[in-house]
């Protein structure tokens, strides 16, 4: 699975929590998290089986 395309990412990135300019806690890598969720959903797998490339 490739993950989210650049054009898709540009469309949603400002809607996600944890922005650098926000006052709330910032996420380390929202795009990596979205890609990990897409991988889990596409495989019907458990989080513990997530490949190392999606982990922090």
Q: How confident is the model at residue 53 (pLDDT cuts 50, 70, 90)?
A: confident
- Model's pTM, two decimal places? 0.75
In a domain, 2, yes or no: no
Contacting residues for 34 by C-beta, under 8 A, at least 6 apart: 3, 4, 9, 12, 16
Burial of 3 (0-12, 13-18, 19+ CB in 10 A): middle
The count of structural domains within the chain is: 1
Q: Which of 33, 46, 44 is nearest to 4 (CA)?
A: 33
Quick check: 7 pLDDT over 70?
yes
pLDDT tens digit sequence for 17-40: 776 665 555 666 888 889 999 999
Question: Which pLDDT belongs to residue 19?
Answer: 66
Domain residues for 30? Answer: 26-49+52-56
Question: Which pLDDT belongs to residue 42?
Answer: 93
Distance CA 52, CA 43 (A): 15
């Amino acid at each position: 699975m490739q993950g989210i395309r650049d054009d898709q990412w540009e469309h949603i990135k400002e809607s996600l929590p944890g922005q650098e300019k926000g006052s709330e806690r910032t996420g380390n890598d929202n795009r990596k998290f979205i890609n990990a969720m897409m991988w889990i959903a596409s495989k019907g797998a458990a989080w513990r089986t997530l490949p190392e490339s999606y982990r922090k």
